[in-house]
Each structure stands twice: as C-alpha cells, then as structure tokens.
Amino acid sequence: MHPHLVVPNSEVQNTIDLLTAEGWMGDNLRIHASLDRDTRLIPLSIQAPQALPPPLNEFPIIITSGIVEDRKRPSWLQLLRDMIGEQLVDKHRKSWPSSHELIGDMMILKIEESVREFQPQIIRSKMAANRNIRLVLEDRGVKGKYRVRDLRPIGIRENGKIAPASIGSEYPTKVIVKESGHMIVCDPASAYYSTRLQTERISTAFEARRLSKTIGTKINVADPFCGVGPALAHLVNIPGLVSSILASDLNPMAIKLLHENLSRWIGMPSDTEVTGITEWKKGVWSGVADARELLETDLPIGYWNLLIINLPHKFIDFLPLILPLLDSSKPYVVRGRLVCGNKEIEDIRSLISQYFPDGSDVVVDPRSEYSPNTKLCSVTIRNFATVG
C-alpha cells in the first residue's frame, strides 16, 4: 500500500512538475487513472511531507496498492552499475549524487570528492537517463558579493553525443523555464534561481489572493530580494491581483533578467536600463538596491501590503529594517524563508512575533534539512487586524 495524490486530469502535468521539483514523486510506481477516469493517482515518495503545501494540499491523498512501473528506461544508477560494476556502486552508495536540479535543458548537481574519479561515468549515466539535458553543471556552492552559485560545466550533449565539457569553453546558461504556466528567463550562473522553490512561490500567491480578498482591493507587492522575479511571475500574471510592485536586488545581472521578464509579463519596455530604483511605469518600481537603504530612497513608505523576504540566512537581520515599507493601516502579509537550528524554531518564532502586533499569526514551518543540525523553514506572517 502506498500514498497517492488524487489529481484532476487537467492538473496532472502541473502537479507532476511541482512534485518532481521538490523530489516528492514516487519513482517506482506508475501514474494511473482512477476508476471513474476523471482523476489520476500520482504516487508520492517517502520524502513527501504528510501535510503538503498549497496548491498540492487541495488534492486528497489516498493509500492504495500502486502499479509497479515496468515501462521506464533504466535509471541513471542502473546505467552507472553497467559502467563500473555493482561492487563499486555499493562501495560508494552514500556518495553518489542521487539528487539533481533541472533548469530548462540543464542539470545541476554536486559531486563529492570521494567519487570524483567516476565523474565521466556519472555524467554519461545521468545524461543517458535524462535525454533532454544539454548541459550538466557542477554546483560548487555560492561565490562573490552577490552569492551566485559557482557552476562549472562538466558534461555536454552535442549532435546527440555525450562528452565531457571542454575546459575553458563557454556554454550558454541563459534559458527560459516554464513554471506553473509562467515563462521565466533565468541564468543560474549569473543570478540565483531554483526550481525547488516553486511550491514556496505558489504558497505566496495563495496568501496574496487571500490578502487581496481581505482588503477588498488589489494589493501592492514589495520584493526587495527579487532575483530574476520568479515570485512576481506567480503574482503579476493573476488578473486583478496586483496594483503596484517594488522589485529590487543587489545583483545587476538579476535586475537585467528581471526587466526582460517584466517586459514579457506586464509590458514594461524591454530596453529598460539597469539602474537604481526607478518608477518605469505607473506603479512599477525596480532597480539595483541594497534593501537596507530602501527607506532612504523616494519609494513610497508605509504603502506595501505583501512583503517577500527570500534571504534565508539573513531573514531575521533584514526583517526589522524593511518592515516600515508595510502599510500597517491595513491587513498585510510577510512571506520568506530562514535557516535555523533544529531546536531553535520556537525561539525564532517568538523573536519574530515581537516585531508584530498582538494577534498576528506567525508561522515558522520547517520544510527540509539544510544541514545535519539546521532546518530550512518557510515563514508566513499574517496581520489581518486594521491598525490605523
């Protein structure tokens, strides 16, 4: 018996994309139609949380016997066994890069030094099992002032043939990805972007809809750590939801890509320069800025209804500095992520609560392991009381 998500046929592909990005989809069982044929049963992995986040929580979970997947191509690990043998695969079983991230036609993964000697075989087996992948990039952590991922090309598919990437050669990493129906231009080698945060962005859109309904008007959204704008993609493309946006980032390359995206989403001029915070069209402010200095600009203060703080390691540091952006005379929501110790979650929740009026709903929800002793948490702060 195995947990399956019961999903309407019209929502199947989007749900598969979400589950795959999070690593929550079972890979040994088949997706199959329900008895009434109106829905499909999607198997969940053991890593999937019992309480799925929006919009996945809209679908019921049933426990049923699954159908074993016997039609799949060999997994990358099976292909690796064929290349180096069962004994070596078992010897290093804890070190193989079992997970990876797909961004467009690129695969991003980490390789431990203990299996570095098998890098050519890892690349070949991964790309053979994922036939749409053009480029494999090794993630060596973050680097530089803008904390961009240090990505090194290690595998390339050219003319249908898989080969190691040539040292010193340049390979394009700018791609367009489709996320919940939204087209997003990104370049993970120039500005941070992760498909694994898709459910977070959908949850933010869910909160935005609820907030707009509570206020009774369109909302004003501030995203001072916007990157290329993936969170905004889920907001500005919802008709009648957003009135004004503030989108800023310290990384000029992120803002350049953001402007390319905004031209697609809301008709902002596509040749917009990369400058400091500028109102390019009515109700649209964007540009390069340090979030700590936003209150010193000509931006509207005490104006914004939804504040997004996607800066996990410095969420607590920046929160009190940019709270004055919010319109405290109306209901408002703060959404973000933070990293904290396994035993510090309640203390962090209490600390955050001190910055908000009594009765505010402060949720610190651990979503995944960040390290053996820390959690990556989703943060939602709702103040639906009218203060002014």
- CATH number for the domain spanning 142: value is 3.30.300.110
pLDDT score at 163: 93
228 and 186 Cβ atoms separated by less than 8 Å: yes
pLDDT score at 144: 83
Residue 143 covered by a domain? yes
Question: Pick from 64, 86, 101: which residue ends a domain?
Answer: 64
Question: Pick from 43, 64, 85: which residue ends a domain?
Answer: 64
User: 8-66: per-residue pLDDT in tens?
Assistant: 988 888 888 788 777 788 877 888 888 777 899 999 988 788 788 878 888 989 888 88
Query: 58 with 105, same domain?
Result: no
Query: 331 with 196, same domain?
Result: yes
Query: 51 with 82, same domain?
Result: no
Count of domains for the chain: 3
| CATH number of the domain residue 318 falls in | 3.40.50.150
Residue 71 covered by a domain? no
Query: 166 with 220, same domain?
Result: no
Residue 182 covered by a domain? no
Low-confidence ranges of the chain (pLDDT < 70): 69-73, 386-388
Tally Cβ neighbours within 10 Å of residue 259: 24
Residues facing 242 on adjacent strands: 219
Question: Pick from 173, 199, 234: which residue ends a domain?
Answer: 173
Tally Cβ neighbours within 10 Å of residue 128: 18
Residue 366 covered by a domain? yes
**Residue 334: C-alpha distances to residues 40, 142, 256 (Å):** 35, 26, 26
Query: 272 with 327, same domain?
Result: yes
Residue 357 covered by a domain? yes
pLDDT score at 388: 44
Query: 260 with 118, same domain?
Result: no
Query: 351 with 265, same domain?
Result: yes
Residue 129 covered by a domain? yes
Query: 250 with 276, same domain?
Result: yes
The residue segments making up the domain with residue 240 are 191-383
Query: 255 with 316, same domain?
Result: yes
> Percentage of the chain surpassing pLDDT 70?
97
Residue 181 covered by a domain? no
Residue 128 covered by a domain? yes
77 and 128 Cβ atoms separated by less than 8 Å: no
Query: 47 with 107, same domain?
Result: no
Tally Cβ neighbours within 10 Å of residue 63: 9
pLDDT score at 386: 55
Query: 291 with 367, same domain?
Result: yes
Query: 39 with 104, same domain?
Result: no
Assess whether the previous peptide bond of 230 is cis (omega < 30° from 0).
no
pLDDT score at 70: 63
Cβ-proximal residues to 25 (8 Å cutoff; 6+ apart), any chain: 16, 19, 42, 43, 44, 45, 48
**Residue 211: C-alpha distances to residues 145, 207, 218 (Å):** 35, 6, 9
Residues facing 16 on adjacent strands: none
226 and 258 Cβ atoms separated by less than 8 Å: yes
In the block, tokens 């390319």 appear at 260
Q: State the Cα–Cα distance between residues 300 and 242, nearest whole angstrom.
A: 16
